[in-house]
Amino acid sequence: MTEEKISLLNQLAVQAGEEILKVYAEPFEVENKSDGSPVTVADAAAEKVILAGLSKIFPEIPVVAEESVEAGELPVVEGRYFLVDPLDGTKEFLKRNGEFTVNIALIEDGCPVFGVVSAPALGEIYWGGALSANDQQSAFKGRIEAGKIVDVAAISVRTPPQSGLSVLASRSHMSEETAALINRLGVAEQLNVGSSLKLCWLAAGRADFYPRMAPTMQWDIAAGDALLRAAGGALVYAETGNDFTYQVPTQAIKDDLRNPHFLAVGCRSVLADLAVSG
């Protein structure tokens, strides 16, 4: 049953991506949210698909979804809930570079235990974690072809090469503080990419380190965090080095779901190296 439900969650991400691509293929209007960030009809269309699917597959689990929260709908949650970002990387969507994603994460007692991330324009999908404590943690990547997931392969993080770190940075949200940290490290390679794809690339062993010293929301990273953990990596608070946790306080508002700065790594040894160089 668990594998069946994972398959259904993955298909939800694929279906949401199909709705996004319908909008992507045609001219569309852009509006601004209360915080000034852009939003399109694709966000709402994708979220509608995901919410409908989750209500059928997991009717007992509440869902915290970005566009619903923007509309003032933030449910009371306890130990177990879904965090959904129907379209992460709206700026990349507007630039039409394909680097945007659909994100569905299951949170349990503050920990992201399962996540699926699809990149519809790139035809890629990643997922990892477990829906039950009895299931083995594992991470995978596949291709999306004609609405189906094919060429599935297990993925894992890599050991940093001796030649130097490959560091990921946001394509559209690079902060001065993030740039300063990267420059201090003297990295071998800097890769700029949009959305939660950065966490997917870490999980798949394509890079070693992703520092984020700029604003994000919990739904931006939860699915990628679950994937990264399942692949052997970690996402920690930049200030303390402790593993990141997810919380929705009682009577929460949107700003309560804003993330502090974080560091995502494929190998925890990178964190030790950071402490030495700092």
87 appears as a binding residue in the annotation: yes
Residue 251's contacts (CB-CB under 8 Å, 6 or more residues apart) are none
35 appears as a binding residue in the annotation: no
C-alpha 111/C-alpha 137 separation (Å) is: 13
Q: SS3 for 195?
A: coil
29 appears as a binding residue in the annotation: no
Nearest to 167 by CA among 264, 101, 277, 273: 264
66 appears as a binding residue in the annotation: yes
* Residue 90: CB atoms within 10 Å: 20
135 appears as a binding residue in the annotation: no
Q: How many residues in the chain?
A: 278
106 appears as a binding residue in the annotation: no
* Angle, CA 52 vertex, CA 122 and CA 45 arms, to 5°: 50
C-alpha 211/C-alpha 223 separation (Å) is: 17
C-alpha 53/C-alpha 40 separation (Å) is: 21
Q: SS3 for 143?
A: strand
Residue 78's contacts (CB-CB under 8 Å, 6 or more residues apart) are none
Would you say 203 and 139 are in contact if contact means Cβ atoms under 8 Å apart?
A: yes
Phi and psi at residue 84, in whole multiples of 5°? -130, 130
Tokens of 125: 């999908």
Would you say 155 and 207 are in contact if contact means Cβ atoms under 8 Å apart?
A: no
Helices marked H in 145-264 — which ranges?
A: 176-185, 197-203, 218-230
C-alpha 172/C-alpha 231 separation (Å) is: 26
88 appears as a binding residue in the annotation: yes
Q: Per the annotation, where are the binding residues?
A: 66, 85, 87-90, 220
Q: Per the annotation, where are the binding residues for substrate?
A: 66, 87-90, 220
Q: Per the annotation, where are the binding residues for Mg(2+)?
A: 66, 85, 87-88, 220
